[in-house]
Amino acid sequence: MHMADALLAPAVAATMYVASGTTAGISVHKLKKDENTQKLPMMAVTAALVFAGQMINYTIPGTGSSGHMCGGMMLSALLGPQAGFLSMVVILAIQCLFFADGGLMALGANCWNMAFYGCFVGYYLIWRPIIRSNWFGKMEAKAALRMKIIAASVIGCIVTLQLGAFSVVLETSLSGITELPFGAFCALMQPIHLAIGLVEGLVTSAVLIFVAESRPELLQEVNPEEKGLTGKHSLKTTVIIIAVVAALVGGALSLFASSNPDGLEWALFGNSDAGYSENMALDEENYGIESGVADAAASVQEKTAFLPDYAFANSDSAAGTTVSGLVGSVIVAALAVGICVLGGFFRKKKQAIK
């Protein structure tokens, strides 16, 4: 899910930086207001632990494969949404700088896709309502808490990962990077992350249940002394809240999908993967002449491009530019190789002198 720099147009990347930066600013402000400097080492150690913990493989029973842990949900359950968000931002920054996992320019987008949804949406709309609700009220208190943690973690991981994956598709499509129609890209990304979300949710809930049973005071909203907190929302209200949110999100998604010209194109050609490729072959000539997808993508690219471009294709001079461009590219590549060789040569000489 970590996006590389090449997948974003500068305008989109800058917008996402502003969005994530604002969220980080508000989080810092909130934490400062609470004067919670004591939380700082706690945040750092937990973030480092989640970072390392993401590398552990967990065997999924019944299958040969393995899964990982979901960072955002776990951090916000342990530290609260604001501190969790900042810890995720730091994890993403280190992954980007030292492991090339996600780009430096795409950091804003990555923070939004993974940290914002995982921490804020996951905490305020899923973790807190579910833990405070009286779901599984008929069970014994301990068992009920366990079930609530499983429900919150699994629902939280699935929903936040779906939102994140959808944002990746949206950002990439707005950047005009891919020719892949919006709908097809969605159909590719969402189901994969459904499966990932389920596994991550289960692993996250296993760790959180362990913490809840040995040290419940470490978890947000789980406070055995404060019984007044629980039972605020009944199962019914919680279900209604989640349903309304799901309907809103779903409505927004379908609106985006249907208003997108690429999505329409996709619908015209056919919906299933197999059908689409068949239609592609049939309409190939027609498709090549009209090239609606290319035009639509190009217009998006034009709108989002950082600097105005000069003409390239579709002109008589283009052929000339292309040939000289080709020759020039070879020259530049040769220059690059030359620099490498020269650099190595001088260094060896220097070492020899030493």
Contacting other proteins within 132-191 (CB under 8 A): 172, 176-181
Contacting residue, 191, 224, 251, 328, with other proteins by CB under 8 A: 328
Site string (51-90) toward other proteins, x via CB under 8 A: xxx-xxxxxxx--x-x--x--------x-------xx-xx
The tokens describing 354, both together, are 């030493």
Q: Is 332 in the site for other proteins (CB under 8 A)?
A: yes
Residues ≥6 apart with Cβ < 8 Å to 327 = none
Rank residues 131 and 168 by Cβ distance to other proteins and give the closer one.
168
Contact residue for other proteins among 235, 246, 340, 349 (CB under 8 A)? 340
Q: Is 274 in the site for other proteins (CB under 8 A)?
A: no
- The single residue among 42, 147, 242, 245 that binds other proteins, judged by CB under 8 A, is 42
> Quick one: 236 or 311, whose CB is closer to other proteins?
311
User: Rule CB under 8 A: is residue 240 a binding residue for other proteins?
Assistant: no
Shorter beta-carbon distance to other proteins: residue 240 or 342? 342
Distance CA 16, CA 315 (A): 35
> Considering only residues 188-217, where is the footprint of other proteins by CB under 8 A?
202-203, 206-211, 214-215
Contacts of 84 (CB under 8 A, 6+ apart): 72, 75, 76, 77, 78, 115, 118, 119, 123
| Closer by beta carbon to other proteins, 126 or else 199 | 199
Of 19, 144, 195, 218, the residue at the interface with other proteins (CB under 8 A) is 218
C-beta separation of 83 from 218 below 8 A: no
Q: Give yes or no for residue 19 binding other proteins (CB under 8 A).
A: no
* Least Å from the CB of residue 64 to other proteins: 7
Q: Which is nearer to other proteins, 124 or 346 (CB)?
A: 346
Name the minimum Å distance from CB 351 to other proteins. 10
Question: Which of 26, 45, 240, 246 forms a contact with other proteins (CB under 8 A)?
Answer: 45
Tokens linked to 8 = 């974003």
Report the alpha-carbon distance of residue 76 to residue 204 in Å, rounded. Answer: 12
CA distances 68 to 110, 273, 314, 326, 352, Å, are 18, 29, 49, 45, 49
d(CA 163, CA 243): 15
Q: Which of 39, 101, 26 is CA-nearest to residue 75? A: 39
Angle between helices 292-304 and 10-33 (to 10 degrees): 50
Q: How many other CB atoms sit within 10 Å of the CB of residue 178?
A: 15
Note whether 264 binds other proteins by CB under 8 A: no
